[in-house]
Amino acid sequence: MVATSSTMLPIGTTAPNFHLPDVRNNQITSIAESTGEEALLIAFVCNHCPYVLLLLESLTANCHRWIKCGVKVLFISSNDSVEYPADSPQKMRELAVKHRLQFPYLFDDDQSVAKSYRAACTPDFFLFDKQYRLFYRGQYDEARPGNEVSPNGRDLTLAVELLLAGKPSPKEQKPSIGCNVKWKRGNEPEYFQSPG
């Protein structure tokens, strides 16, 4: 398990659109179809990463709360599901059912969406305003496997609250840290730093 940090996409970047299948129902989802939401939260996650699993229960609960406040939430898995079968669409669907996800869990099979967002790790968070401009990218909180800090989502929660209140984005934004996105052989992006 080698820790990888997020690339910290520039604040103000416009969210790239995409069309990806939701493993819960096989429906194609696009951020351009969103209407009326106050914010858009995209989280690159996966099924087996210990960093994701540590915070998944807390994150899911927060996401369900944020949805009620007008935040559109999308989980995306971009891992190579051939080399990492725990991240297959079937396993993703099982996780969605187990955690009763009330929002899409999308499969980025060709990894093009991860590349367009310069996603580097799981989890990697991107919070956009209603014009799809990047407001926050960084960690969920300080919890990491083995550091005995309980996940609460303090950093991301603050960002969501500031955005919904019409206030400026947090001045301090710490990179998210997790396992690297599991790129398909030969498909690694130019910004990818090989772990270990």
DSSP string covering 114-161: HHHTT--EESEEEEEETT-BEEEEE-S-S--TTS-PPP--HHHHHHHH
139 in a structural domain? yes
- Segments forming the whole domain that contains residue 132: 4-10+36-180
Cα(147)–Cα(16) distance, rounded to whole angstroms?
A: 34
103 in a structural domain? yes
142 in a structural domain? yes
Asked if 195 and 183 count as a contact pair (C-beta separation under 8 A), the reply is no
The torsion angle over the Cα atoms of residues 17, 22, 27 and 28, rounded to 10 degrees, is 20
- Indicate whether this model's pTM tops 0.85: yes
113 in a structural domain? yes
191 in a structural domain? no
Write the CATH number for 174: 3.40.30.10
132 in a structural domain? yes
pLDDT, mean over the chain: 95
Residue 193 pLDDT > 80? no
Q: How many domains does the chain have?
A: 1
Question: Using one digit for the tens of pLDDT, what is the confidence trace for 101-150?
Answer: 999 999 999 999 999 999 999 999 999 999 999 999 999 999 999 999 99
91 in a structural domain? yes
58 in a structural domain? yes
Cα(132)–Cα(176) distance, rounded to whole angstroms?
A: 20
